[in-house]
Amino acid sequence: MASETQAHAHQESLALREQFDTAAQQKDASTLGMWIFLITEIMFFGGMFLAYTVYRHLYSHVFAVASSSLNVYIGAANTVVLLCSSLTMVLAVRAAQLSQKKAIVLFLVLTLLLGGVFLGVKAYEWNEKFVEHHVPGASFHFEDLPASDQGHAQLFFSLYFAMTGLHALHMVIGAGLLCYLVFEARKGRYSAEYNTPVDLIGLYWHFVDIIWIFLFPLLYLIDRHLGR
Amino acid sequence: MITTAVQEREHYLNESYGIKSWLLTKDHKRIALLYLFTVTFFFFLGGAFATMIRVELLTPQGNFVSNDTYNKLFTMHGVAMIFFFLIPSIPATLGNFFLPMMIGARDLAFPRINLLSWYLLVIGGLFALFAMLAGGVDTGWTFYTPYSTTYSNSWVIATAIGIFVAGFSSILTGLNFIVTVHRMRAPGMTWSRLPLFVWSNYATALIQVLGTPVLAVTIILLFCERVFHIGIFDPALGGDPVLFQHLFWFYSHPAVYIMVLPAMGVISEVVSVFSRKRVFGYHFVAYASLAIAVLGFLVWGHHLFVATQSVYAGLVFSFLSYFVAIPSAIKVFNWTATLYKGSISFATPMLYAFGFIGLFTIGGLTGLFLAALGFDVHVTDTYFVVAHFHYIMVGGTIMAYMGGLHYWWPKMTGRMYPEGWAKLSALVVFLGFNLTFFPQFILGYMGMPRRYHVYPDEFQVLHVLSTAGASVLAVGYLLPMIYFVWSLKYGAIAPANPWGASGLEWKTQSPPPLHNFDETPVVTEEAYDYSSVIGEEIQVG
């Protein structure tokens, strides 16, 4: 299976590791590895999505009320920020494929900045929850619900913090990876011949984005209607 | 005894020396040996806990350890054996060593990730070990809520972190295997020419990759619940403790197949070589591995038959649990059919394989008893269940692991093990195992609950039999430990292919060179084709 691409082997052997025959085989293997890793990530987040589904089904009314206390405008703006970071990420991948070495660095830094803005806004939102006593724990109190529903509301915010927290942790890891890419890209390491790390970390970044695309409606938009 | 030619030949063990050449190695063969040391340590640690459990159960009164200590003993026995021995055992040692060689590759696709996964197992193991030394953990290896989140006064968090970290070791091994099988096969090594050991490790890797992340997130939720009291599993806030059981068994039932599928792969290799026949129904055995991997994800509910699950869900899970027996039975029948009219030799690996087939069949059939709703209610949480899963895990997985170690020992070390002692150990293990665990079926049926160390006087005879068997079993496991080490210095020099086997791993020298093959092999025939190796002397003894 490897022999068909052997002709290209010599010109692309720059970063070829010894267990591979050709650069194409190496890139193939790395890409497959990243996709499998992303599948494990889906299963990883899946456990929390399952817990969310169960409790949303059991306590749908309380979840709707609790959800409406989240600031939908900030959430929506943050979604736009994150989508823009996906755009700049894919532009960085494109720049790498075209060997535009300055553009790679530029777009990577932009992605990093947008990711930082997202995390900053998220931190602001979490802080709001502390101020409003919406953080699960002894001082939890949700004013719009009767005493019998306080526990269920607390469940919503437990899931809110667990899911957005896990997502934010993935963003932080992604930011670390982007820093590494910027560092390497400044040395001119990525080009049309070799850009696998940019490609794969790009995949990871998009994946973390997609998780948010699911989190946003599930947490913010349960029971929203445009004003009639 | 050692000829100069052997001394001069370079292989993976003598191409470099020193502690750094091992701790920073990227060679899958050396990493396999690192795993071998690690899992052997945890095997004997778990065995030590088992010994104390069996000593306590000699008498009907609790007079060797206190109630609390007993709870900790069976918990730590389970944690050490399942997460740090059984799950990494065959894939991370034998699989790591031989999967690349069997497909004609120089290494796994990601050697550095392979090394990382060993470090993760060690770090996770150290967390678990710390928890055990600091005072132990008493929740049972299943960590059921709310006991684990609210009431237990033991080292739940440290143990959970250990299992979490070790889980990522398992995920990375699985990821590495999948990519390696897809992208690293030698020219001519098509999917239908893959040895069945590769097929079964591939199926195992699918489970590791799909199941283990769910355990990881369950542990995170358990952690948050115990530390921050977030309520996910707390009925006081409307949370559901049974949700934990669903999430836990979604991983932990497929984990049984992580333990037994690679064992089945070993048996396929051994049965074929020592009856000198192609495995009967090769494709059925290969696809049965995949079928087990898929169906294994759909049966977790049979652990919740008495845990508020609806009767209808119970019916479905019962049916699916019967269904998963079909691919397992296909394998057993096909191994048996392989033996038919084969040229059988009773070398040690074959003795272990025979032991596996018999014991796995008993373990599997009693699994069907337990899949039946009515009977399961009767024996839930009794020694019947304990006996059943020990027949699968010890009678199945460890038998195959021992058989595989003997089978590949000459290739791994370049030395033959002493055949006479090895046959004796296989026999002792088989007898000791049955004496230990068969009485437990009867105990369970009579109503002896698991996880209790005080029991009525009339159960004592069976418990004494079981403890006696455990001592015999211990001898059976200590023997190989001694003669394997002995063989490293005094064993006969192993030829490249002592069994006359057909796999690629036997077509290179023993022990293999650093990159496995002098030049990349080209595969032109199907697996288990003995026509070209017939005539080579099989060295037994």
Which of B187, B221, B224 is the closest to A3 by Cβ?
Answer: B187
Q: Which residues in chain B have their CB less than 8 angstroms from residue A28's CB?
A: 183
Query: How many CB pairs below 8 Å do chains A and B form together?
Result: 116
Question: Collapsing DSSP states into helix, strand and coil, what is residue B382?
Answer: strand
- Say which of A32, A36, A136 has its CB closest to residue B231: A136
What proportion of chain B, given as a percentage, has pLDDT over 90? Answer: 93
For residues B244-265, give the mean pLDDT: 97
Peptide bond preceding B511: is omega within 30 degrees of 0, i.e. cis? yes
Chain B: residue nearest A159 by CA?
A: B232
Terminal Cα distance for chain B, rounded: 17
Residues A161, B184: C-beta atoms closer than 8 Å: no
Average pLDDT on B419-438 reads 97
Instruction: State pTM to two decimals.
Output: 0.94
Q: In the predicted model, what is the mean pLDDT of residues B280-300?
A: 97
The answer, yes or no, to whether residue B368 has pLDDT greater than 60, is yes
Percent of residues, chain A, with pLDDT higher than 70: 93
HSE-CB of B509 using CA atoms within 13 angstroms:
15
> A16 in a domain, yes or no?
no
The answer to whether residue A126 sits within a structural domain is yes
H or E stretch at B446:
helix B419-446
Provide the 10 A C-beta neighbour count for residue A145: 15
Q: DSSP states of B459-490 as a string?
A: GHHHHHHHHHHHHHHHHHHHHHHHHHHHHHHH
Please list every residue in chain B whose beta carbon sits closer than 8 Å to the beta carbon of residue A154.
230-231, 237
- CA B535 to chain centroid, in Å, comes to 34
Nearest CA in chain A to B188: A1
Q: What confidence score (pLDDT) does residue A223 get?
A: 84
pLDDT of B4 higher than 50? no
Q: Does the pLDDT at position A13 exceed 60?
A: no
- Residue in chain A nearest B28 by alpha carbon: A19
Among B191, B217, B244, which would you mutate to test the A interface (most chain A Cβ atoms within 10 Å of its Cβ)?
B217
Is A67 part of a structural domain of the chain?
Answer: yes
Tell whether the model's pLDDT for residue B382 goes beyond 90.
Answer: yes
Q: Do B221 and A47 touch (CB under 8 A)?
A: yes
- In angstroms, the separation between the Cα of residue B220 and the nearest Cα of chain A is 9
pLDDT at B539: 52
Round to whole Å and give the CA distance between A120 and B330.
57
Q: How far is A54 from chain B (nearest CA, A)?
A: 9
Residue A17 in domain: no
- The answer to whether the Cβ–Cβ distance between A136 and B230 falls below 8 Å is yes
CATH at residue A40: 1.20.120.80
Taking only the tens place, the pLDDT of each residue in B157-207 is 999 999 999 999 999 999 999 999 999 999 999 999 999 999 999 999 999
Average pLDDT over residues B395-405: 97
**Does A47 contact chain B (CB < 8 Å)?**
yes
pLDDT (tens digit, 9 = 90+) per residue, A27-66? 999 999 999 999 999 999 999 999 999 999 999 999 999 9
CA distance A5 to B34: 35
Nearest CA in chain B to A48: B217
Interface with chain B: mutation pick from A21, A36, A142, highest number of B CBs within 10 Å = A36
- Which two structure tokens, joined as six digits, stand for B430? 């088989």
User: Residue B479 pLDDT more than 50?
Assistant: yes
* DSSP assigned state of B415: B
At CB < 8 A and 24+ separation, what contacts does B34-39 make? B34/B118, B35/B88, B35/B92, B35/B93, B35/B96, B35/B118, B35/B121, B36/B93, B38/B84, B38/B88, B38/B118, B38/B121, B38/B122, B38/B125, B39/B84, B39/B85, B39/B88, B39/B89, B39/B92, B39/B93
Q: Which amino acid is at B229?
A: H
Q: How many CB atoms lie within 10 A of CB B298?
A: 17
Mean pLDDT of chain A: 91
Q: Which two tokens stand for residue B164?
A: 């979490």
A122 occurs within a structural domain: yes
Q: Is pLDDT at B77 greater than 70 in this prediction? A: yes
Q: Is residue A144 part of a domain?
A: yes
Residue B1 has pLDDT above 80, yes or no: no
Q: Is residue A13 part of a domain?
A: no
**A2/B320: higher pLDDT:** B320
Residue by residue, DSSP assigns A94-121 as: HHHHTT-HHHHHHHHHHHHHHHHHHHHH
Rg of chain B over Cα atoms, rounded to whole angstroms, equals: 23
Compute CA B26 distance to the chain's CA centroid, rounded to the nearest angstrom. Answer: 24
Residues of A in contact with B231 (CB under 8 A): 136, 151, 154-155, 158
Distance CA A151, CA B154 (A): 27
Residue A227 banded pLDDT, cuts 50, 70, 90: low
Q: Tell me which residue in B110, B183, B237 faces A154 most closely, judged by beta carbons.
A: B237
**pLDDT score of A111 more than 90:** yes
- Asked if residues B102 and B37 have their Cβ atoms less than 8 Å apart, the reply is no
- Match 């026995």 to its residue by tokens: B77
Indicate if the pLDDT at residue B535 is higher than 70: no
Closest CA in chain A for residue B174: A36
Q: What residue spans define the domains of chain B?
A: 29-506
* Beta strand ranges found along A20-106 (DSSP E): none
Q: What does the pLDDT read at residue A7?
A: 42
How far is B162 from B122, CA to CA, in rounded Å? 9
**Would an 8 Å CB–CB cutoff place A36 in contact with chain B?**
yes
Name the more confident of A215 and A15: A215
A24 and chain B in contact, CB less than 8 A: no
CATH no. for B29-506? 1.20.210.10
Which residue numbers of B have CB closer than 8 Å to A's CBs? 105-111, 113, 171, 175-176, 178-179, 182-185, 187, 209-214, 216-218, 220-221, 224, 228-232, 236-240, 243, 246-247, 515, 520
In this structure, what are the phi and psi dihedrals at residue B255, rounded to the nearest 5 degrees? -60, -30
Domain that holds residue A97: 22-220
| C-alpha to C-alpha distances, A208 to A86, A155, A195, nearest whole angstrom | 10, 24, 20
Out of A20, A36, A51, the one facing B209 most closely (by C-beta) is A36
How many structural domains does chain A have?
1
Asked if residues A181 and A201 have their Cβ atoms less than 8 Å apart, the reply is yes
